[in-house]
Amino acid sequence: MISIEDIIQLQTRTVADWHRDPIENKETGLMATVCTQHSFNYQLWHEEDIARSPDVSDQEIARVKRSIDRFNQQRNDWIEKIDDEIAGLIQSKNIQTRDDALLNTETPGSAIDRLSIMALRLYHLQEQLDRSDATAEHRQSVEQKMAVCRLQQSELAKSLQQLVDAIGAGTKRHLTYRQFKMYNDPTLNPYLYNAKNRNGEDSDSGVADSVTANA
């Protein structure tokens, strides 16, 4: 039903492409959804790098924090979209799930998200390995980390392929895990909905509009 190797190749290729050119998604179907989800991890990764720099201003840190919140929300929203699309594939293929089929603790979308992060980690570790000013000790440390990451990527891919194959065969259940992130929801974050009492109706409306735009 799904090739995890194809997903890894997509994630690896696009990380390299997006470091040279603007983010672009030429995929279709499920792979397009996977690519979009991956793009939010890509953007989140680089904003996290800025947030940890001691040289940026407080104003820049505030901007980066809002970007991190926005990209993280989108990242999680698109994990759910991946799982929803898999649910649609199950329905379209008329796959009959057995009554005794068990549900994994992690959804395919969540595991694909982990593979996305791993593709980013491996790319940036390779950057460290290629540094002209890197010492032998630094390169040795990076090589050890890359070996562990490649093993983890391989093992996760193998387990995920087994899971999606079992879902396709109807021997495992599939269910989208709804995360309901509360911090970006003006009706669930106390600081946001109490802003009405602190600053008045107009200010509250402005906060809600801003959060909705960033959700």
Q: In one letter, which amino acid is 78?
A: W
> Which tens digit of pLDDT belongs to each residue from 35-53?
999 999 999 999 988 877 7
> Lowest mean pLDDT: which of 11-25, 104-118, 178-192?
178-192
Distance between CA 215 and CA 211 in Å, rounded? 6
pLDDT of residue 192: 65
Predicted confidence band of residue 187 (pLDDT cuts 50, 70, 90): confident
Distance between CA 66 and CA 95 in Å, rounded? 42
pLDDT at 159 over 90: yes
pLDDT of residue 209: 42
pLDDT of residue 210: 38
Whole-angstrom distance between the N-terminal and C-terminal Cα of the chain?
A: 31
pLDDT of residue 50: 81
> Which tens digit of pLDDT belongs to each residue from 21-30?
999 999 999 9
Average pLDDT, the chain: 89
> Lowest mean pLDDT: which of 66-70, 80-84, 139-143, 205-209?
205-209
> Which tens digit of pLDDT belongs to each residue from 107-156?
999 999 999 999 999 999 999 999 999 999 999 999 999 999 999 999 99
Tell me the three state secondary structure of residue 24.
Answer: coil
pLDDT of residue 197: 63
pLDDT of residue 1: 84
> Lowest mean pLDDT: which of 63-77, 133-147, 160-174?
63-77
SS (H, E, C) 40-101: HHHHHHHHHHHHCCCCCCHHHHHHHHHHHHHHHHHHHHHHHHHHHHHHHHHHHCCCCCCCCC
Distance between CA 154 and CA 122 in Å, rounded? 12
Give the residue extent of every domain in the chain. Answer: 4-174, 182-215
Cβ distance 81 to 33 under 8 Å?
A: yes
Cβ distance 189 to 182 under 8 Å?
A: yes
> Which tens digit of pLDDT belongs to each residue from 193-208?
777 666 665 444 443 3
